[in-house]
């Protein structure tokens, strides 16, 4: 039965356990791809077959926003949307919100970069929780230093990461931009805000780009049942050329908000780092929150800081290792 799931070996490990494992195999950084022969039961009792397993992965998460991380430094990951969807399937595959690949880059002061695919096989431009996991992966592998800022090349921008310690990562994102231009929106907006007809209601959304596009809607209650219906409708609204990440934010006070995000390509998520950044930026530009805000998501809390226009936005939160495994690159005869 294990073969039908596609995952041949899983090694449970917490952060401390992971460090001990990696220390014992210093010659092989975490996530390095390698070929392994797997022997398992075949069609009949007592017979056996072999399966080449060659795609090594690390399962990680940031506040429940979960990822599969693949080392593509020496062996490029061949993009196959069908395989990505199969790997992302939570019943027949590994299960994840996004798949992240790490590769070497040169330029802009960056040595490492990453690419992002959603669980439906589509490509994404930014992922705050994913960026923190990439930074934690690189630090654990000894490729970047703890407590020293490093630059990473995201799909559309260069960002700064600072790994304070195991499981504690801070990001510096570029200054957010507002309005329809940065979000590929065909709808009219005024000062970055747009009235959008969705499911028989009119939503007033602030359009924000934080490396990827977001529509942030201020609501009285993020747990209102109707939002479960409205979220997917807003994400797939025809006014957005490539869809939109729909964020619904509830204001508690000037330094605390609650957020729920329906991500394009992944659906409702336990946490969304770029969405938290977009929500704070949207509220900050309207003078509703202070420069430092705690954003409560279903999976936990992120800390976001933005002084305002002319400044970069910073975000700090956890990045956790879950397990490692190997995914077969072809079916057994």
* Residues, the chain: 333
Burial pattern 135-166, b for ≥16 Cβ within 10 A else e, equals: bbbbbbbebbeeeeebbbbbeeeebbbbbeeb
Question: What is the extent of the structural domain holding 127?
Answer: 2-174+319-328
Q: Verify that 164 and 229 share a domain, yes or no.
A: no
Q: Verify that 153 and 19 share a domain, yes or no.
A: yes
When pLDDT is averaged across residues 301-306 and rounded to a whole number, the result is 98
Q: Verify that 134 and 190 share a domain, yes or no.
A: no
Identify the helix (H) or strand (E) that includes residue 18.
helix 15-23
**Residue 267 within any structural domain of the chain:** yes
Q: Verify that 211 and 243 share a domain, yes or no.
A: yes
**Residue 29 within any structural domain of the chain:** yes
For residue range 26-56, what is the model confidence (pLDDT) as tens digits? Answer: 333 333 333 333 322 333 333 334 445 478 9
**Residue 125 pLDDT exceeds 60:** yes
Q: Verify that 208 and 151 share a domain, yes or no.
A: no
For residue range 246-256, what is the model confidence (pLDDT) as tens digits? Answer: 999 999 999 99
Report which of residues 81 and 10 the model is more confident about: 81
Q: Verify that 218 and 102 share a domain, yes or no.
A: no
Burial, 4: exposed, middle or buried (Cβ in 10 Å; 0-12, 13-18, 19+)? Answer: exposed
Could you tell me the CA-to-CA distances from 283 to 27, 62, 67, 144, 259 in Å, in that order? 48, 23, 28, 34, 12
Q: Tell me the percentage of the chain whose pLDDT exceeds 90.
A: 70
When pLDDT is averaged across residues 232-244 and rounded to a whole number, the result is 94
Q: Is 158 a catalytic residue?
A: no
**Residue 216 within any structural domain of the chain:** yes
The reported pLDDT for the residue numbered 79 is: 79
Report the first-to-last Cα separation within the chain, whole angstroms: 16
**Residue 333 within any structural domain of the chain:** no
Lowest mean pLDDT among 14-28, 106-120, 261-275: 14-28
* Residue 46 belongs to domain with CATH number: 3.10.310.10
Pairing of strands 110-118, 150-153: parallel
Q: Verify that 141 and 31 share a domain, yes or no.
A: yes
For residue range 45-94, what is the model confidence (pLDDT) as tens digits? Answer: 333 344 454 789 999 999 999 999 999 998 888 778 999 999 999 999 99
Q: Is the pTM of this model over 0.85?
A: no
Which phi and psi angles does 18 have, rounded to 5°?
A: -60, -40
Q: Is 127 a catalytic residue?
A: yes
Q: Verify that 24 and 168 share a domain, yes or no.
A: yes
Considering the candidates 110, 158, 185, 272, report the single residue annotated as catalytic: 272
The reported pLDDT for the residue numbered 309 is: 96
For residue range 128-178, what is the model confidence (pLDDT) as tens digits? Answer: 999 999 999 999 999 999 999 999 999 888 999 999 998 999 999 989 999
């Amino acid at each position: 039965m294990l073969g039908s799931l596609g995952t041949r070996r899983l090694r449970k490990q917490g952060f401390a356990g992971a460090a001990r494992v990696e220390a014992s195999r210093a010659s092989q950084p975490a996530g390095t791809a390698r070929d392994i022969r797997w022997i398992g039961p075949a069609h009949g009792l007592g017979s056996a077959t072999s399966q080449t397993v060659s795609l090594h992965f690390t399962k990680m998460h940031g506040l429940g926003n979960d990822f599969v991380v693949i080392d593509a430094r020496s062996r490029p990951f061949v993009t196959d949307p069908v395989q990505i969807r199969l790997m992302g399937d939570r019943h027949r595959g590994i299960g994840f919100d996004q798949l992240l690949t790490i590769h070497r880059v040169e330029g802009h002061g960056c040595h490492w970069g990453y690419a992002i695919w959603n669980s439906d096989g589509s490509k994404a431009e930014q992922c705050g929780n994913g960026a923190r996991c990439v930074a934690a992966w690189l630090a654990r592998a000894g490729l970047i230093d703890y407590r020293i800022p490093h630059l990473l090349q995201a799909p559309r921008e260069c960002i700064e990461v600072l790994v304070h310690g195991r499981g504690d990562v801070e990001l510096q994102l570029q200054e957010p931009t507002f309005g329809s231009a940065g979000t590929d929106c065909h709808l009219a907006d005024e000062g970055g805000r747009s009235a959008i007809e969705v499911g028989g209601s009119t939503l007033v959304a602030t359009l924000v780009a934080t490396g990827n596009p977001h529509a942030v809607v201020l609501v009285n209650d993020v747990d209102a049942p109707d939002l479960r219906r409205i979220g997917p409708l807003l994400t797939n609204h025809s006014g957005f050329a490539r869809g939109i990440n729909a964020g619904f934010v509830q204001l508690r006070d000037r330094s605390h908000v609650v957020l729920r995000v329906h991500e394009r390509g992944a659906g409702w998520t336990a946490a969304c780092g770029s969405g938290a950044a977009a929500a704070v930026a949207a509220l900050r530009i309207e003078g509703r929150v202070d420069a430092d805000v705690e954003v409560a998501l279903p999976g936990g809390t992120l800390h976001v800081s933005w002084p305002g226009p002319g400044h970069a936005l910073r975000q700090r939160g956890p990045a956790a290792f879950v397990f490692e495994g190997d995914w077969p690159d072809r079916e057994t005869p």
